[in-house]
Amino acid sequence: MTALDLSSPVAVVGTGTMGQGIAQVALVAGHPVRLYDAAPGLARKAADAIGSRLDRLVEKERLTADERDAARARLTPVDDLSGLAGCSLVVEAVVERLDVKQELFRALEDVVADDCLLATNTSSLSVTAIGGALRVPGRFVGLHFFNPAPLLPLVEVVSGFATDFGAATRAYETARAWGKTPVACADTPGFIVNRVARPFYAEAFAVYEAQAADPATVDAVLRESGGFRMGAFELTDLIGQDVNESVTHSVWQAFFQDVRFRPSLAQRRLVESGRLGRKTGHGWYDHREGAERPAPHTAEPAEPPAYVVAEGGLGPAAELLDLIREAGIEVREAEEDEGTRLVLPSGGQLVLADGQLAAEFADVVYFDLALDYRRATRIALSHAGHTSAKTVAQATGLFQALGKKVSVIGDVPGMIVARTVARIIDLAVEAVAQGVATEEDVDTAMRLGVNYPLGPFEWSRRLGRGWAGALLDEMHEVDPCGRYAPSLALYRYACATDQREDTP
Cα–Cα distance, 408 to 32 (Å, whole number) = 57
pLDDT at 503: 42
Q: How far apart are CA 251 and CA 157, in angstroms?
A: 18
Give the helix, strand, coil percentages of the chain, each rounded to 5. Answer: 45, 15, 40
Q: Is the pLDDT of residue 406 over 90?
A: yes
pLDDT above 70: percentage of residues in the chain: 97
Is 70 exceeded by the pLDDT of residue 502? no
Cα gap 259→345, rounded to integer Å? 42
pLDDT at residue 504 is higher than 50:
no
Active centre residues (catalytic)? 123, 144, 156, 194
What is the mean predicted confidence (pLDDT) over 82-106?
96
Question: What beta strand segments (E) does 341-459 contain?
Answer: 341-343, 349-352, 364-367, 378-383, 405-409
Burial class (CB in 10 A: 0-12, 13-18, 19+), 172: buried
Between the two ends of the chain, the Cα-to-Cα distance in Å is 44
pLDDT of 210 above 60 = yes
Count of alpha carbons within 13 angstroms of residue 64, beta-carbon side:
3
Q: Please name which of 206, 249, 253 lies closest in space to residue 475, comparing C-alpha atoms.
A: 206
* Confidence band of 501 (pLDDT split at 50, 70, 90): very low
Q: How confident is the model at residue 58 (pLDDT cuts 50, 70, 90)?
A: very high
Q: Which amino acid is at 413?
A: P
Q: Which stretches of 328-388 are DSSP H helices?
A: none
Phi, psi of 129 (to 5 degrees): -70, -40
497 compared with 259, residue with greater pLDDT? 259
Q: Which residues, 6+ apart, have CB-to-CB distance to 277 below 8 Å?
A: 236, 237, 238, 239, 240, 241, 283, 284, 287
C-alpha 183/C-alpha 1 separation (Å) is 16
Cα 286 to Cα 348: distance, rounded to the nearest angstrom: 40
Quote the CA–CA distance of 343 and 291 in Å, as a whole number. 44
Tens-digit pLDDT profile for residues 21-38: 999 999 999 999 999 999
pLDDT > 60? residue 424: yes
Q: Residue 108 to residues 81, 144, 276: CA-CA distances in angstroms?
A: 7, 19, 35
Longest dimension (CA), the chain: 81
In the sheet where 405-409 sits, what is the strand order? 330-333, 307-311, 341-343, 349-352, 364-367, 378-383, 405-409
Banded pLDDT at 335 (limits 50, 70, 90): confident
Residue 300 has pLDDT above 50, yes or no: yes
Overall average pLDDT of the 281-293 stretch: 95
Give yes or no for a contact between 429 and 196, defined as CB atoms under 8 angstroms apart: no
CA atoms within a 13 Å half-sphere pointing along the CA-CB vector of 378: 23
**What pLDDT, on the 0 to 100 scale, is given for residue 31?**
97
Question: Is-contact 326 336, C-beta < 8 A?
Answer: no
User: What's the whole-number mean pLDDT along residues 440-461?
Assistant: 97
State how far the alpha carbon of 430 is from the alpha carbons of 21, 355, 423, in Å: 32, 20, 11
Burial 440-467 (b: 16+ CB within 10 A, else e): ebbbbbbbbbbebebbbbbbbeebebbb
pLDDT tens by residue, 359-392: 999 999 999 999 999 999 999 999 999 999 999 9
Asked whether the beta carbons of 434 and 381 are under 8 A apart, the reply is: no
Q: By the 8 A CB rule, do 232 and 222 touch?
A: yes
Decide if pLDDT at 339 tops 80. no
The count of C-alpha atoms lying within 13 angstroms of the C-alpha of 292, restricted to the half-sphere facing its C-beta, is: 3
Burial of 488 (0-12, 13-18, 19+ CB in 10 A): exposed
Contact at 8 Å (CB) between 202 and 248?
Answer: yes
**Residue from 423, 378, 57 nearest 217 by CA:** 378
Rounded to whole angstroms, the Cα distance separating 245 from 271 reads 8
pLDDT at 182: 98
- Tell me the average pLDDT of the chain: 95
pTM of the predicted model as reported, rounded to 2 decimal places: 0.95
* H helix intervals, 42-125: 42-59, 65-74, 98-109
Element (H, E) at 398: helix 389-401
